[in-house]
Amino acid sequence: MPETSREIRLASRPTGEPTSANFSVVDVPVGEPGPGQILVRNAWLSVDPYMRGRMNDAKSYVPPFELGQPLQGGAVGEVVASNAAHVPLGATVLHPLGWREYAVVDAASARVVDTAIAPAQAYLGALGMVGLTAYAGLKRVAPVKEGDVVFVSGAAGAVGIIAARVAKHLGAAKVIGSAGGPLKAKRLEAEFGYDAAIDYKAGDLDGQLALAAPDGVDVYFDNVGGDHLRAAIDAMNRDGRVAVCGAISAYNATTPPPGPDNLHQLIGKRLTLRGFIVGDHQDLAAEYAQLAAGWLRDGSLQYEETVVDGIDNTVDAFLGMLRGANTGKMLIRLTARD
């Protein structure tokens, strides 16, 4: 057991796109777990788009990260000391204190995960918050019906790849994905279960969507906002549903981006646009976990990971994810120090 643990702190609040100067890596003593606590050696860290919002000093559904304090985020790791009877030494746990090598965690906020079902890091992706986001969005927020045409933006990302699989399981006849660049677009169709792919970086998003969805779109799963939302509204069929999951095209904006200029179509087309936060849909977690375990077993829930090694590369992984360096879930893998 090393005496110190490295952790990543928010050194200053970013304006626009964050840079490595907004973060610091600090050595701190490895903590001692108190009553009801566990010490976890983190093995995998998650970096997620919502963390960008927490770097702003702004009111939101989660409090801002504090300056000079370690960042937080999903992590899985091994319990190396335990003062909690129900969490044994050696267990693999999912918990919210990532961005550091060792974490003292309240056992009540940790969950022992079953690595017989899937590798530990899958609980940061397909079997965790990411998977439940896709499921809640398409099962409840913008329910997919048998035969629907479904459009997913951010299609080659963590949530997007699972959304395509979930849409098919819920009966979608056609799933169209949009991602940045020809390689990602190719992989959408070849590997990630999409029936048609759009490379939004090639331009003419409206034209590409019209070509991919000649009969219109029934459900849009929006990870991006901006031009994607506007194009989707144009393409929606009557009684169409939109799950507004994220708006990553605006996360680094320094002035409010303009809204879609075609909202009047909501009226004639009787559209529903509904925003959601995955945390409000925890009641679906057990149902999704059971379905996902079965889909993993039968091979119909394939997922993708981009793995970056080492705590010192966590910031670069986060910044890269915001720019599209990832395909599937962006993860940081930590190995035990001698």
Binding site residues, ligand NAP, CB under 6 A: 48-50, 130, 133, 154, 156-160, 179-180, 184, 223-224, 245-246, 248-249, 276-278, 321, 324, 326, 330
Q: How crowded is residue 184: how many other Cβ atoms within 10 Å of its Cβ?
A: 23
User: Could you tell me the smallest distance in angstroms from the CB atom of residue 289 to ligand NAP?
Assistant: 17
22 and 41 Cβ atoms separated by less than 8 Å: no
> 40 forms bridges with which residues in the sheet?
79, 103
User: Could you tell me the smallest distance in angstroms from the CB atom of residue 222 to ligand NAP?
Assistant: 8
Instruction: Say how far apart CA 157 and CA 50 lie, in whole Å.
Output: 14
* Closest C-alpha among 153, 221, 223 to residue 188: 153
Please, which residue, 140 or 269, has the CB nearer to ligand NAP?
140
Please, which residue, 86 or 323, has the CB nearer to ligand NAP?
323
250-287: b (≥16 Cβ within 10 Å) or e: ebeeeeeeeebeeeebbeebebebeebebeebeebbee
User: Could you tell me the smallest distance in angstroms from the CB atom of residue 274 to ligand NAP?
Assistant: 11
Instruction: Say how far apart CA 301 and CA 157 lie, in whole Å.
Output: 14
Please, which residue, 2 or 276, has the CB nearer to ligand NAP?
276
Please, which residue, 37 or 133, has the CB nearer to ligand NAP?
133
Instruction: Say how far apart CA 334 and CA 92 lie, in whole Å.
Output: 14
User: Could you tell me the smallest distance in angstroms from the CB atom of residue 167 to ligand NAP?
Assistant: 15
User: Helix, strand, or coil here: 48?
Assistant: coil
Instruction: Say how far apart CA 225 and CA 202 lie, in whole Å.
Output: 18
Please, which residue, 133 or 314, has the CB nearer to ligand NAP?
133
20-53: b (≥16 Cβ within 10 Å) or e: eebbebeeeebeebeeebbbbbbbbbbbbbbbbb
Q: How crowded is residue 155: how many other Cβ atoms within 10 Å of its Cβ?
A: 29
Please, which residue, 91 or 224, has the CB nearer to ligand NAP?
224
User: Could you tell me the smallest distance in angstroms from the CB atom of residue 214 to ligand NAP?
Assistant: 23
User: Could you tell me the smallest distance in angstroms from the CB atom of residue 65 to ligand NAP?
Assistant: 16
Please, which residue, 77 or 246, has the CB nearer to ligand NAP?
246
* Closest C-alpha among 49, 289, 287, 314 to residue 159: 49
User: Could you tell me the smallest distance in angstroms from the CB atom of residue 290 to ligand NAP?
Assistant: 21
Please, which residue, 39 or 292, has the CB nearer to ligand NAP?
292
19 and 90 Cβ atoms separated by less than 8 Å: no
Please, which residue, 40 or 141, has the CB nearer to ligand NAP?
141
Instruction: Say how far apart CA 337 and CA 214 lie, in whole Å.
Output: 55
User: Could you tell me the smallest distance in angstroms from the CB atom of residue 62 to ligand NAP?
Assistant: 10
User: Could you tell me the smallest distance in angstroms from the CB atom of residue 91 to ligand NAP?
Assistant: 26
Rounded to a whole number, what is the largest CA-CA distance in the chain? 65
> 328 forms bridges with which residues in the sheet?
157
